[in-house]
Amino acid sequence: MNRLHHWICRSGYWRQRVEEEVLPWALEGLGPGENTLEIGSGYGAASEVLGAHASGLTCVELDWGTARSLARRTTGTKVRVVQADAICLPFADGTFDAAFCFTMLHHIPNPLQQDRLLAEVARVLCPGGTFVGADSFAGLLFRMIHAGDTFTPVDPRTLPQRLGAAGFVEISVDQRARDFRFRACRNSPR
């Protein structure tokens, strides 16, 4: 991420937006989890809320410095931070009962790798596990913030097919003015 982007992700403005706008919508009606996973946690704007609703939360963050900063802040809590690439998750199949992904899919370099990430999330979820996420639309401001950054906006209309190909069922995708949310369930083997 560029410096402006780091600054925004650490800001009170972003934390408030995640807590008051993104999470209430994305998590609507979802029960508490046991062993849960968040990918692309950044500075943890969503992690505290997610951690409070689960017995345990593992946060996966690609950037070393950001992961270290979040690990320091969450020491002694139910939150565990792992520096790793969500495209190749260092967990066994079926480890988690829920996975979350907020405002990060557009940071994956290309659609093929995004699909690889969706399949990885499916792999580490137990059968019937839930995958919940949200991301923003590629408006002018959003594009400006990503100047010089990896930026692969997701077209939410493609998500049902892509999530299905990754191994999910019961897929729902909703859009509103600035962002979209999705929810899907890990397919159970017959």
Backbone angles phi, psi at 99, to 5 degrees: -135, 145
Binding mask 61-100 for ligand SAM (x = CB under 6 A): xxx--x------------------xxx-------------
Closest CA to 94 of 133, 120, 60: 120
Nearer to ligand SAM, 109 or 127 (CB): 109
One of 23, 26, 37, 45 touching ligand SAM (CB under 6 A):
45
How far apart CA 5 and CA 146 sit, in angstroms, is 7
Nearer to ligand SAM, 150 or 188 (CB): 150
User: 14-32 b/e with 16+ CB inside 10 Å = b?
Assistant: bbebbeeebbeebbeeeee
Q: How far apart are CA 59 and CA 72, in angstroms?
A: 13
Q: Can residue 40 be called a binding residue for ligand SAM (CB under 6 A)?
A: yes
Report the residue from 27, 54, 57, 60 that binds ligand SAM according to the rule CB under 6 A.
60
* Site of interaction with ligand SAM (CB under 6 A): 1, 9, 14, 18, 39-42, 45-46, 60-63, 66, 85-87, 102-104, 107-108
